[in-house]
Structure 1
Amino acid sequence: MNSLASKKLSDKLAKKRRLALVYFVLLVFFLGLASRLVYVMIFDTKKLRQVAASQWTSKDTLNAKRGNILDRNGNNLAVSADVYRVDFDLTSLRTTLKDKKIDSDKFASDLSSILSLKEEDVHKALNRTLDNDLPASWAPLKRRVEKPEADKVKALKIFGILVTSDTKRFYPSNNFISHVIGHIDDDGKGVSGVESQYDKELAGEKGQLVYTRDSASNQLFFEDSRYTKPVDGKNVILTIDGVVQKYAEDAADKALKENNAKGVSIMIMNPKNGEVLAMVSKPDYNPNAPRQGAKNNDELFNMWKNRPVTNLFEPGSIFKVITAAAAMEYDTSKEDDKFICNGNSKISNRIINCWELGGHGTENFVDILRNSCNVGFMEVGKKLGKENLNTFIKKMGFGEKTGIDLPGEEKGIVLNPSKMNDVDLATESFGQSISVTQVQYMAAFNAIANGGTWIKPHIMKNIARYDDGGKLVIDKSYSDFNKKQILDTHLTQTLRGYMEKVVSKGVGSNAFIKELNIGGKTGTAQKAENGIYKDKKYISSFAGLAPYEDPKITLIVTVDEPDESKYYAGQTAAPVAKELFNNIFNYLAINPKILN
């Protein structure tokens, strides 16, 4: 009996110990749980609120409408149309396809048919994964979808397909002024031209809609939502005059064809304020299809180049105007100085020819400019010396960017006087051994035209927007002129008179129009490739101003690699300038406000 009682007592104690252990474990568990709850409530509150909020709230980005680009007369050159984009909420879409037993192949077929996509593109988006190979929760499908197609996608009523607002950039005139305007990429960001230069102003500011949603991701309209309205981009009004631009575009197309040339570039400006009235680069491209016609990236970027801003060239004899101005400023050559041209000159054991191989005979300072005599200008350069000539060249802005408000500007190449030899000095004097851009040359040429003031060339006239009443409000006008008086007014007046003789009695006679008093200079430069001048490859240019007494208009025409049978600038570029001056001044007679 004692043994049995002892066993019962032992079992009872064992049960108590097990029960105590269970109570202890439960106590520890509940204490741990309580501690965790206390920790979560005190320390993890912010994080958990964010997680919870992310589950019942949604944030939608609202795109701003990109501003328009207009010419100075208010004509639209680039506009934004309201379109749509289609994306996948993959988490919801997978569930929908499964619950509704929709075959993925049929889904891809239906959607690709509506959106003009390949079925494989829809499958690719549907099966999108993250970098760690886990399924993605979102995938883009197509941007810039027109309303009829967007409505058809909505009519499918498949939860998980997102159709939201988007914008499409449209260039109404296709290739017209394409290099100046530029274009945007698939994300709506400016890639080139004004679209890139003024991207911030054009793009505006994106808005946001934050709202509460249910378990099916539908918006709960009775709950509070936060709406930040997108701010539409501002409009950029250019200095370009559409009519003058059309004259330049037509003239460039004609010159390109008639001269069987590689390219033609034209700039037309108001010399008194630095406004670019027209800028043309041919061949051009269509910004509505900016990649069309290019086989590779090299061809693509070459096609997008705005040559007046980006392309360097040896100016040839149009640079004699600059050399003449330097000689007049330093008083190293005078109007009645005598120069003798026998067709060539020997410089450091090298024979350098004049374009007139038979020679020009005896000339004065005005004659060597009128006749574009290389021999005469080599003598002018020798009298000036390397230091004086290059100091003047730098003062005129060569070797530095002008700062024009267009991307991709080159600064040109000017030799260091300490590294120049006598041959370099001779050739630089008549416009070789130096590389410039059209924009750079025109900034210097305008200083001669306007009485001696260097003014920064520019393409933007105003930044504007429409107020709530539809009234155009100017927020900003161009003001960064960087004006510098670099030449004596009397000197420029005299030099313009010399240039008038170039057109009325000299090598620029093919640009002559009696009533307009045009002054100008032709230039035919042999092209260099890898430091070697190439036979039968030339760049022909004409720079002009009118009327020479008080110029209202300046222009430059450059024909790249014209047909070798007719390559002199007097034959190729001067006739183009004549046509342009005639058209522009007829236009000015009825619409003088373009110079305001």
Structure 2
Amino acid sequence: MSKKVYKDKTIVKRRMIFAFFAFFILFFALILRLGYIMVAKSADYKNKAINQWTNVIKIDPIRGNILDRNGNALAISANIYRVDLDLNTLRQYMSKKKVSDKEIANKLAAALEMEEEEVLKTINKTINGKKIGAATLKRRIEKDAADKVRELNIDGVVISGDTKRYYPNNNFLAHVLGHTNSDGKGLTGVELMYNEYLEGRPGKKIAETDSRRKELPYSISQYEKPVNGFNVVLTIDEMIQHFAEKAADQAMKDNKAKAVSIIVMDPNNGEILAMVNKPDYDPNNPWKEGVSYNELQKEWRNRAVSDTFEPGSIFKVVTATAALSEKVIDPKTYQIVCNGSSQVLNKRIHCWKRTGHGHETFVDILKNSCNVGFMDLGAKLGAEKLNKYITAFGFGNKTGVDLNGEAKGIIKQTSKITPLDLATISFGQTNTVSCVQYLTAFNAIANGGKWIRPHVMKKVVSNENNKEIDIKQYDKYDEKQVINHDVAVELRGYLEKVISEGGGRKAFIEGYHIAGKTGTAQKVENGKGYGAGKYIASFAGMAPANNPKITVLISIDEPDPSNYYAGQIATPVAKQVFYDVFNYLALKPDASGKEIAESLLKDIMIPEVRGLKKSEATKILKENKIDVKIEGSGDYITDISPKPGYSIKENSKIILYTGSKGNYNKKEVVVPNLNGYTSERASKVLNSIGLKVRFTGNGLVSGQSIKPGQKALKGTTITLQLNVIGD
């Protein structure tokens, strides 16, 4: 064998070996790649393949209902439809049918009552310059609209089930219920706080489709049933809420107020029976066009929970409790003289009644809401002891109520309280509280000394096969004894006198024992002092006083500055709420029906009608809801009993004496009670019965030179003391 042939064979052999190894490496690489694809990337490619020949439809669960304590529906979910776009399939359809996106947009817009431009924008939507594959066109449409879209028979237009949150009573209980977003998630109120129970778990349907993404009728589909949300049962009583809503609406109107809040609670377990804020909003339509998000949030804010204010004289209940508990006074022997002010360091702090209340007992300073008396109690207690009770009642901390946005208020630290601070804190200034926080503290006096967390959730239930099963009961009461039981009972007795004899008289109902306290506080404006003519009139009450079943808080924010005194405007609101609730709960009074009915009637001042013709006089009295008995056969009114100026209940009967013209007695009248009146209103009343008036000071009437009910001759001058009342 020649050397050349041998060399050629060697080269061929080497080349064959090289080729073999090259093919082996290539084969091995292919095996590795195939293994990588089949093992490592198996799930990804499987999902891509499934996505190509299947259609996954998310099935939303039905959101749970929100019910009142008696099972009445407050928020429900209705079954409706949604329209989504499979844009890749839709583009193929438009190409095959040779139709433009404008034509498709026009048809869909007509069926869904949308703007054509809006639909076109959705069809051509891009992200980072790339056309997207799917989009939601419209949610929460009714069946007739869904049928119209279905009749278009456009490939890539997917119609599926959807749910819509519906509040059957519109604005009713709006701030407590809250509302949801477009995806059905809770945004505020109970909808937010109990979203995890209400929302349920979505299901899905996976169906095989053809190249046009249409579901194949013979294929096997996978279906995962959605789990519907649980129902949330509230402590709210729909009827009591109705009473509170009605009273708040009327209070807003009567007092031209900026806002009104009312809370009704069961003091024995912390259950909120009613909570209303006016103005409110419609949770069916929470998003208003042309309104900024900040403005919307103000509408949605639950002011009874989120807003704080200086409580004024309703806070005197806390100071009184501390004084009794620490035994710094003996309520049976305590006496003080109020001359209208008290000197603290180098500053003179005035009582709301600048002429003073004179000699007073402990009961008197509560009935009169005397600032001087409560400054004395605060001084005897000292900052440390007073703050001990302020903290025990929960002020300065959130109550933990199961509603969003709760404020904790501001309580001055003990170490930073000056003697001047101590004086103002004792009668309700300096510190701030929220409505729900205050009523929770007030409940402790009503229930025998226990602080109990307020709440609106009673229980969470499922409703499988029309059978209600409890999932969760409310259990976060955090009950604790904060004051002695006997002190609470004693104080309730004193607070009952505030209603029967003191500044809360307009809340009195014969036969029902109501205990409570009024408060008229100036509003702090922008943290820079008190706003001129801006007040918050409040009332807190409980009933029956010996064993309270309900507590009520009324807050009227910025009422008409010509009539802002809580004893005049907040107490009548409370009276109506109490009476409605008493009847509804069938609480038995210890008075006759006639006596109760009479106590509910409005007080009417008898006008001057002497000297008028009989027909004219009876017409005026009828317009004032006063019944008459006529004695004599004359054509003119010669005298009247009781005398003009005397206060009677509406529909009461008075006696008119008749005779000839000019033969009548017009000299004597009765001086009316003008406490809390503006100077204009007081002048009008006194002038109408022939009395003259002289004023001293500024503000509302806080004192008068002739006591109410006393007789005076026409032409007599009555001196009225005016004060900026903050009781």
Say which is worse superposed, 24-33 or 212-221, in terms of deviation: 24-33
Partner of 1:39: 32
Q: 2:517 matched to which residue of 1?
A: 521
Structure 2 matches for 1:14-53, cutoff 5 A?
A: 34-46=27-39, 47-53=41-47
Which one has the bigger helix percentage? 1
How far apart, CA to CA, are the structure 1 residues paired with 2:346 and 2:548? 43
**1:134 Cα offset (Å):** 1.4
Q: 1:325 aligns with which of 321, 340, 343?
A: 321
1:542 and 2:539 aligned: yes
2:51 counterpart of 1:54: no
1:475 CA displacement? 1.6
For 1:134 and 1:478, the matched residues in 2 are separated by: 51
| Change in CA separation of 1:27 and 1:155 when aligned onto 2, cut-off 3 Å | farther
Residue 326 and residue 70 in structure 1: after superposition, are their counterparts in 2 closer, same or farther (change >3 A)? same
| Structure-2 separation of matches of 1:451 and 1:101 | 81
Corresponding residue for residue 710 of structure 2: none
Q: Counterpart amino acid of 1:40?
A: R
**Displacement of 1:39:** 1.5
Q: Sequence identity, in percent?
A: 49
- 2:613 matched to 1:587? no
| Matches for 1:56-95 after TM superposition, within 5 Å | 56-95=53-92
Question: What is the 5 A alignment of 1:203-282?
Answer: 203-220=199-216, 222-282=218-278
| Aligned residue type for 1:564 | P
List per-residue Cα deviations over 1:368-398 (Å, max 9, x = no partner): 0111001110111011101110111001110
Return closer, same or farther for 1:294/1:414 CA change in 2, 3 Å cut-off.
farther
Deviation larger for 242-251 or 203-212: 203-212
Conservation of the 8 A alpha-carbon contact between 1:544 and 1:555: yes
* Structure 2 CA distance for aligned equivalents of residues 330 and 451 of structure 1: 17
Return the offset for 1:117.
1.4
Return 98-107 or 574-583, whichever deviates more.
98-107
Whether 1:500 and 2:493 are equivalent positions in the alignment is: no
SS in structure 1 at match of 2:395: coil
Report Cα offsets for 1:209-258 as digits up to 9, x if no partner. 23443333334465554332110001111110010000000000000010
SS of alignment partner, residue 131 of structure 2: coil
Aligned to 1:198: 194
How far the C-alpha of 1:32 sits from its partner, in A, is 6.2
Q: Contact conserved, 2:509 with 2:575, CA < 8 A, in 1? A: yes
Whichever residue aligns with residue 475 of structure 1, its letter is I
> How big is each residue's C-alpha offset from its partner over 1:547-591, in whole Å with a ceiling of 9 and x where there is no partner?
100001101000001111110111111110011111100111189
For residues 31 and 252 of structure 1, the distance between their equivalents in structure 2, rounded to whole angstroms, comes to 89
Is the 8 Å Cα contact of residues 545 and 553 (structure 1) preserved in structure 2?
yes
CA distance in 1 between partners of 2:137 and 2:454 (Å): 43
| 8 Å CA contact retained: 1:294, 1:300 | no
1:163, distance to aligned residue in structure 2 (A)? 1.1
Deviates more, 1:221-230 or 1:334-343: 221-230
TM-score normalized by the length of structure 2: 0.76
**Superposed displacement of residue 145, structure 1:** 1.3
Cα drift, residue 536 of structure 1:
1.2
State the match for 1:134 in structure 2: 130
User: Does the Cα contact within 8 Å between 2:155 and 2:213 map onto a contact in 1?
Assistant: no
In structure 2, how many angstroms separate the alpha carbons of the residues matched to 1:224 and 1:30?
44
Cα distance 1:25–1:160, how it changes in 2: closer, same or farther (>3 A)?
farther
Q: 1:3 maps to what in 2?
A: none
Distance in 2, matches of 1:562 and 1:25, equals 100
**In the alignment, residue 186 of structure 2 is paired with which amino acid?**
G
Give the SS at the match of 1:534. strand
Displacement of 1:421? 1.3
Are positions 1:394 and 2:391 aligned together?
A: yes
**Is contact 1:70–1:78 with CA below 8 Å preserved after alignment?**
yes
Q: Which residue of 1 aligns with 2:351?
A: 354
1:99 aligns with 2:96: yes
Give SS of 1:378's match: helix
1:491 aligns with 2:484: no
Q: Pick which of 365-374 and 50-59 moved more.
A: 50-59
Amino acid in the other structure paired with 1:197: M
- Provide the rounded CA distance (Å) in 1 between the counterparts of 2:329 and 2:99: 89
Is the partner of 1:107 in helix, strand or coil?
helix
The Cα shift of 1:26 comes to 9.0
Residue 461 of structure 1 is matched in structure 2 by 458
Distance 1:235 1:146 in 2: 24
**Offset of residue 25 of structure 1:** 11
What is the aligned partner in structure 2 of residue 478 from structure 1? Answer: 474
1:497-544 deviations in Å (ceiling 9; x for gaps):
000000000000010012111000000011111231122111010000
Q: Report what 2:632 is aligned to.
A: none
Whose RCO is larger (CA < 8 A, sep 6+)? 1
- Other structure's SS at 1:173 match: coil
Q: CA deviation at 1:325?
A: 0.1
2: CA distance between counterparts of 1:157 and 1:32? 54
Q: Which residue of 1 aligns with 2:423?
A: 426
Quick one: which amino acid aligns to residue 354 of structure 1?
C
Equivalent residue, structure 1, for 2:160 = 164
Q: Which residue of 2 aligns with 1:11?
A: none
Unaligned segments of structure 1, at least 5 residues: 1-13, 592-596
Distance in 2 (alpha carbons) for counterparts of 1:24 and 1:308: 90
CA offsets, 1:452-506, max 9 Å, x none? Answer: 11111010111112112x1222222211111101111111000000000000000
- Greater shift in the superposed pair: 581-590 or 434-443: 581-590
Greater Cα shift, 530-539 or 497-506: 530-539
| Aligned position for 1:10 | none
The letter for the 2-side match of 1:166 is D
Match of 2:287, SS state, is coil
* 1:341 corresponding residue in structure 2: 338
Of the structure 1 ranges 27-36 and 285-294, higher mean CA displacement relative to structure 2 is found in 27-36
Asked if the contact 2:82–2:139 (Cα under 8 Å) also holds between the matched residues in 1, the reply is yes
Q: Which residue matches 2:407? A: 410
Deviations 1:47-98 (A, max 9, x none): 1453144223443221111001111111111110111111111111001001
- Whole-angstrom CA distance in 2 between matches of 1:61 and 1:242: 36
Name 1:438's counterpart in structure 2. Answer: 435
The answer to whether 1:304 aligns with 2:304 is no
Aligned partner of 2:619 in structure 1 is: none
- Correspondent of 2:561 among 553, 561, 564: 564
Secondary structure in structure 1 of the residue aligned to 2:204: strand
Give, in whole Å, the separation in 1 of the partners of 2:352 and 2:566: 12
Tell me which amino acid in the other structure corresponds to 1:544: G
CA distance in 1: counterparts of 2:290 and 2:516, whole angstroms: 37
In structure 1, the residue matched to 2:121 is 124
Deviation at 1:24, TM superposition (A): 10
2:175 corresponds to 1:179: yes
Query: Does the 8 A contact of 2:155 with 2:214 survive in 1?
Result: no
Which amino acid counterpart does residue 229 of structure 1 have in structure 2? K
- Tell me if structure 2 keeps the 8 A contact 1:518–1:547: yes
One-letter amino acid of the structure 2 residue matched with residue 279 of structure 1 = M
* Secondary structure at the counterpart of residue 399 of structure 1: coil
Q: Give the Cα separation in 2 of the matches to 1:68 and 1:223.
A: 36
Structure 2 SS opposite 1:215: coil
2-structure distance, mates of 1:26, 1:234: 71
1:146 aligns with 2:137: no
SS of the aligned residue for 1:502 comes to helix
